[in-house]
Chains A and B, each alone.
Chain A
Amino acid sequence: MEGYSSEQEQIEAIKSWWRQNGKAVILGIGAGATVIVGGRWWMGQQETRAELASAMYEQVLTDIRLNESESAADRGARMLDEYGATSYAMFTALTLAKLAVEQGDLTMARTRLQWVIDHSEDAALKDVARLRLARVLLGEGDHAAALAQAEAVAGADFALPKLELKGDAYLALGRMSEAHSAYSAALAASEGGLSRARLEMKLDAASQEGSS
């Protein structure tokens, strides 16, 4: 402030600064306000959209509870179109895959699960979908593809279901020793879980031919 010798001079300086920059300041404030208001509006829209997706998803579940599979499939398909990027669309696709399997339409189930794998941003949910896709492939008799899909399950936490599936695929392919080691590894990972008895049985079934 040392540059100004009187109040008058300071006021003059402020005025001339305003003449030069006033427009820019007002424009800046205006732009700022627009961004804030627009942002809030946009966030509000997002919330509303999420709530709508949620309600629609519940509606799909209700259709299924009421055994109105056709309506569930229609609504579900619309859900995937309209809310493609949301978690609700992912859960809808998983639900539709289950519906398709129950109706014996494995091709449709495969499409739905592949859609989740392609579109979900949740790595763990992708792994869930991969496990299920592998089971559908086993159901279709495409054992090699099932094995590849099971191998693609990436999360360390999914070791147990992944190993059991690999065992199932090897067993179906007649590759007994690989089935045996997959089941052994699954048993080691199961820590007294629900599936132990079943795994032991499958392990027996994967025993090889021998003479002693």
Chain B
Amino acid sequence: MLAFIRDRAHGWFAWFIVIILIVPFALWGINEYFSPEAEVNVAVVNDTKISSARFQQAYQQQRSRLQAMLGANFDPAIFDDKTMKNDVLEGLIGREVLLQAALDAKMRIGDMQVAQQIRTISAVQSEGQFDAELYNRLLRSQGMSVGGFEQSVRTDLLVEQIRSGVAETTFVPAALVDALIRVQNEQRDVGYVVVPAARFIEQAQFDDQQVQTYYEVNRERFRTTEQVSVDYLELSLDTLAAGVSVNEDDVRASYEQRAAEFGVPEERRARHILLQVGSDAPEEEVSAAKAKIEGLLTQVREGAAFEELAKAQSQDPGSAGDGGDLGFFGRGMMDRSFEDATFALQVGEVSEPVRSTFGYHIIKLEEVRGGDLKPFEEVRAQVERDLKRTQAEAQFFEQVEQLANLAFEHPDNLTAAAAALDLEVKTSDFFTAEKGAGIAANARVRNAAYSDEVLLGGHNSELVELRPDHIVALRLQEHRPATVRPLDEVSSEIRSALRLEFAREQAEALGRELLAAIEEGADAAEVVKQHELSWERAGMIDRLAASVNREVVAAAFRAQRPTEAKPVYQGLALGNGDYAVAAVYAVQEGDPSLADAATRERVVKELSRDYADAEFVAYMNALKASAEIKRYPDNL
């Protein structure tokens, strides 16, 4: 056989086979070179990709967290901002780096630990106990598999282990607390004088030429910021939804469809004993059955076991064998009068005889579960609003598309689009590129208004999405370019600026003179008195002393230490134009033994938080530095 193949392996047949084989081998996988990469990544950490989808999810979570935290103060515009996206990205990268480090270091979470963790989640507990059925149902409703969820729990636990292992094992020895208290509670003996600028204001003299010069030199200070106002058309899902009318039945149907969101309906487990009586049975049969069931009820009341009695006497073939147990059922599953009787009972209670279409029952309620379903009336408004929004959605997206087309086809006006869509052209107030009110509070609106297309080209903007359900198209209404305000308008401003400047210089000159004299060895109180000022001897003050000017306190604590022989003097220009001369006579460090327990506790808390933060950040950065991380900011 081998010989046969060898003989035939020459000649055209063999070549034919080889060529046929070459084609698929050569072209195999060539499509990989042409089709774009299906998955978009925001970063790659070592070999693990962080997908754009995962980033978006984390970003949205962060947004809603902030939204929940800030409530009405939440301004969507500030979250377009790059910093927040970067923070979210760095967070994801950090988590991935920690996870990889943990896995590399052979850290593992066993099944037991995962199970323990899941059991503590309150959402999967009923009556304080883990409920496997509820757990499975909840996962299904979130579209998650059990395996996938457990893997994510495992990962979370692992990351938390390594995080807390570094961040929560830090400590603060008592000596470091003492050291900080010595610094924090330091006191300094301070004296000072403030030379007020106000006393020189009236002496200020200057002519128009000086005003003119000041104006020329400081032109930029009088420049106004560029402003625009825009005309705009607004589409909002809420507005459209308000115009939709829905009938009561649809609202109710929608409520029933969404019942799972509003809680679990109540279910009850009951036992019963049935004596069958047809609804058209003759009178004597009915009264015989009634008498008998009353007899059974008396037996139960006197202590007979309901289960045993049901086994022996019940004529319900389905349940008699189980001691009358019907298992759990909700409303709408049983005969109406039977149901009403059951739902009126307390657990353990036995009903009076009940007549249903099947006959006479006595019922014993065993157990109740669920029942936190919000009634229709309570959630009616929400259901109706959601339903209206859903119904308006199609119209909304259609109008959005129309608006996009019309605004593009008629770039020189919004009236065409307004007429076609029956919208009103609104006009905004003036706003700058950085700040505005109304729709201009949104950064995207401001960006669109200041885009070349709108500002220079005078065209309509592309659609601007304030929120996914709130869209505007805008065009320039009026442009106020940045200008320098004329001299007439600002001359009084200039005059007061010049006066203040003069006074500041005078105050400083006098202050320096005083400082020089005091440093020469003159008595401070005497020297300043000659200028109708008074030397304030504040005495020992701490860093938070409220009785002394804040700038003077800060400078006094920044100053060098005085020697026994000589205090330390300094002069400082204050923010309001005054000039202060200050002396530090002595430094007394804080005494830790005087600090009370609350103070110590606060210091320990602050230090351990800062140490933990600094150490963990450093640890994380070290891990990041040794990982190979590629970031794709364009995909954010």
Residues of A with Cβ closer than 8 Å to B? 1, 6-7, 10, 46-47, 50-52, 54-55, 57-58, 61, 86-88, 90-91, 94-95, 97-98, 101-102, 104, 106, 109, 122-125, 127-128, 131-132, 135-136, 138-141, 155-161, 164, 168, 171-172, 193-195, 198, 201-202, 204-205, 207-212
Q: Which of B102, B109, B179 contacts A51 (CB 8 A)?
A: B109
Given contacts A86-B106, A172-B179, A157 and B171 within 8 Å (CB-CB): no
Q: Which of B110, B113, B171, B184 contacts A98 (CB 8 A)?
A: B171
Contact across chains for B176 and A168 when beta carbons are under 8 A apart? yes
B186 contacts the other chain (Cβ, under 8 Å)? yes
Contact across chains for A138 and B3 when beta carbons are under 8 A apart? no
Contact across chains for B176 and A101 when beta carbons are under 8 A apart? no
The residues in B between 96 and 148 inclusive whose CB is less than 8 angstroms from any CB of A are 101-102, 105-110, 112-113
B166 contacts the other chain (Cβ, under 8 Å)? yes
Contact across chains for A211 and B622 when beta carbons are under 8 A apart? no
B1 contacts the other chain (Cβ, under 8 Å)? yes
Bound Cα distance from A32 to B158, whole angstroms = 35
B560 contacts the other chain (Cβ, under 8 Å)? yes
Q: Which of A6, A106, A127, A140 contacts B618 (CB 8 A)?
A: A127
Chain A: minimal CB distance from B486 (Å): 41
The 7 closest A-B CB pairs, nearest first, are: A139-B173, A51-B110, A210-B560, A91-B165, A124-B622, A94-B169, A50-B108
Stretch at the interface among B208-216, B220-228, B230-238, B609-617: B609-617
Contact across chains for B619 and A125 when beta carbons are under 8 A apart? yes
Contact across chains for B559 and A102 when beta carbons are under 8 A apart? no
CB-nearest residue of chain B relative to A141?
B175
Contact across chains for A50 and B173 when beta carbons are under 8 A apart? no
Contact across chains for B561 and A208 when beta carbons are under 8 A apart? yes
Chain B: minimal CB distance from A122 (Å): 7
CB-nearest residue of chain B relative to A209?
B561
Q: Assuming A51-B109, A54-B108, A122-B105, what are 17 further A-B pairs, CB within 8 angstroms?
A: A7-B1, A51-B110, A54-B113, A91-B169, A101-B172, A135-B176, A139-B173, A157-B625, A158-B615, A158-B622, A161-B618, A171-B179, A198-B610, A202-B183, A207-B558, A209-B561, A211-B568
**What mask results when residues 414 to 454 of chain B are scored 1 for a CB within 8 Å of chain A, else 0?**
00000000000000000000000000000000000000000
Q: Which of B105, B559, B610 contacts A87 (CB 8 A)?
A: B105
CB-nearest residue of chain B relative to A102?
B171
Bound Cα distance from A98 to B172, whole angstroms = 9
Chain A: minimal CB distance from B589 (Å): 8
Find chain A residues with CB under 8 A from B615 CB: 128, 131, 158, 161
Bound Cα distance from A146 to B179, whole angstroms = 14
Bound Cα distance from A197 to B623, whole angstroms = 28
Contact across chains for B165 and A94 when beta carbons are under 8 A apart? yes
Bound Cα distance from A2 to B166, whole angstroms = 70
Chain A: minimal CB distance from B275 (Å): 58
B281 contacts the other chain (Cβ, under 8 Å)? no
Contact across chains for A55 and B558 when beta carbons are under 8 A apart? no
Chain B: minimal CB distance from A57 (Å): 8
22 A-B residue pairings within 8 Å (CB atoms):
A57-B161, A91-B166, A95-B169, A98-B171, A101-B171, A106-B173, A124-B622, A127-B622, A128-B166, A128-B615, A128-B619, A132-B170, A132-B171, A135-B611, A136-B173, A161-B614, A164-B614, A168-B176, A194-B609, A194-B613, A195-B610, A210-B561
CB-nearest residue of chain A relative to B175?
A139
Bound Cα distance from A138 to B177, whole angstroms = 11
Contact across chains for B566 and A211 when beta carbons are under 8 A apart? yes
CB-nearest residue of chain B relative to A172?
B179
Contact across chains for A55 and B110 when beta carbons are under 8 A apart? yes
Bound Cα distance from A140 to B174, whole angstroms = 10
Q: Which of A50, A97, A101, A157 contacts B621 (CB 8 A)?
A: A157
**What mask results when residues 605 to 636 of chain B are scored 1 for a CB within 8 Å of chain A, else 0?**
01001110111011101110100000000000
Bound Cα distance from A198 to B112, whole angstroms = 44
Find chain A residues with CB under 8 A from B614 CB: 160-161, 164, 193-195
Chain B: minimal CB distance from A153 (Å): 9
Contact across chains for A54 and B618 when beta carbons are under 8 A apart? no
Find chain A residues with CB under 8 A from B2 CB: 1, 7, 10
Bound Cα distance from A159 to B169, whole angstroms = 20
CB-nearest residue of chain A relative to B110?
A51
Find chain B residues with CB under 8 A from A168 CB: 176, 179
Contact across chains for B568 and A210 when beta carbons are under 8 A apart? yes
Interface centre among A128, A140, A202 (most CB of B within 10 A): A128
Bound Cα distance from A102 to B176, whole angstroms = 13
